[in-house]
Amino acid sequence: MDGIGIAMKKGSAESVASTEANFACAIQSELQRPYEPRFSRAWTLAGSAAVISSLSTSASLAADAGSFAEPVAAALAAYSLADLATGVYHWFVDNYGDASTPVFGAQIDAFQGHHRYPATITRREPCNNLHALARAIAFALPAVDAAASAAAAPAAAHAFAGVFAACLVLSQQFHSWAHENPRRLPPGVEALQAAGVLVSRAQHAAHHRAPYNNNYCIVSGMWNGLLDRHRVFEVLEMVVFFRTGVRPRSWDEPDAAWTENTTVTAIAATAKAGNE
């Protein structure tokens, strides 16, 4: 190898080392977003207790009525509609507002961080991914159940509310599994992804590629095809733009603030090629 080649190799090796150090810092800060494990676990537990209470109320009413058909149908409807709800919510936080937005700021910031460093979602403790939605459910679901009980609603109403809430909370776990290496998935999850019961890795990978404006649903992904085929979110974005003048982030891609940081990969690949 000549002098220039050696200098280039040395330069690229130093560049890789410094970029990797920066990347490690960024990953570390991403993983260390404000997070208090005890509170996150407590909120996840509180959300889970609300879901279990709702489902047990449904089971008890169904047993009294002698039929489980309606609550089971309601649960399936809730599972389907929760996928749609995650799609609308994900579209909103991906495209509008920022960390300073009231109420949704932390979630918007977290989703932005996720687009920058997608793999970190698989490295967090599950409660760290689930606690924000679990906290909302811990407050909202008991109120919904109380209102349903006051109105003498049937078992199906409680089943719908409980399953819908459970799917919303677990959507971030399903999302995490969509980013996980198949070899590290719990038994059965890969089969559920392949069957379309849980959002698949392939479908969600498309969300993380340009043009960054599709496949927003993250429970089963069953609504993604329909929503994307009919450009539903693009129509909503046009409505928002013409009414408020606010542009969604997806119109301005590529934007380094939320596209994946692939610099390290690219430089490492270049250095590897130079060594061969």
DSSP code of 102? T
We find the least distance from the C-beta atom of residue 114 to Zn ion, in angstroms, to be 6
- Closest residue to bound Zn ion by CB: 94
State which residue, 12 or 107, has the beta carbon closest to Zn ion.
107
Q: Which two tokens stand for residue 184?
A: 């590290």
CB 172 within 8 A of CB 90: no
Only one of the segments 28-36, 88-96, 165-173, 258-266 lies at the binding site for Zn ion (rule: CB under 5 A); that segment is: 88-96
Distance CA 53, CA 59 (A): 10
State which residue, 146 or 205, has the beta carbon closest to Zn ion.
205
Identity at 130, one-letter amino acid code = L
We find the least distance from the C-beta atom of residue 178 to Zn ion, in angstroms, to be 6
Only one of the segments 28-36, 86-94, 138-146, 222-230 lies at the binding site for Zn ion (rule: CB under 5 A); that segment is: 86-94
Query: Rg of the chain over CA atoms, in angstroms?
Result: 22
We find the least distance from the C-beta atom of residue 221 to Zn ion, in angstroms, to be 12
We find the least distance from the C-beta atom of residue 106 to Zn ion, in angstroms, to be 15
Distance CA 250, CA 215 (A): 13
Phi and psi at 60, nearest 5°, equal -70, -40
User: Considering only residues 30, 83, 94, 237, which one is a binding residue for Zn ion as defined by CB under 5 A?
Assistant: 94
CB 43 within 8 A of CB 131: yes
Q: Which two tokens stand for residue 194?
A: 């392949």
Q: If binding means CB under 5 A, how many residues of this protein chain bind Zn ion?
A: 1
We find the least distance from the C-beta atom of residue 11 to Zn ion, in angstroms, to be 34
Q: Which residues would be at the binding site for Zn ion (CB under 5 A)?
A: 94
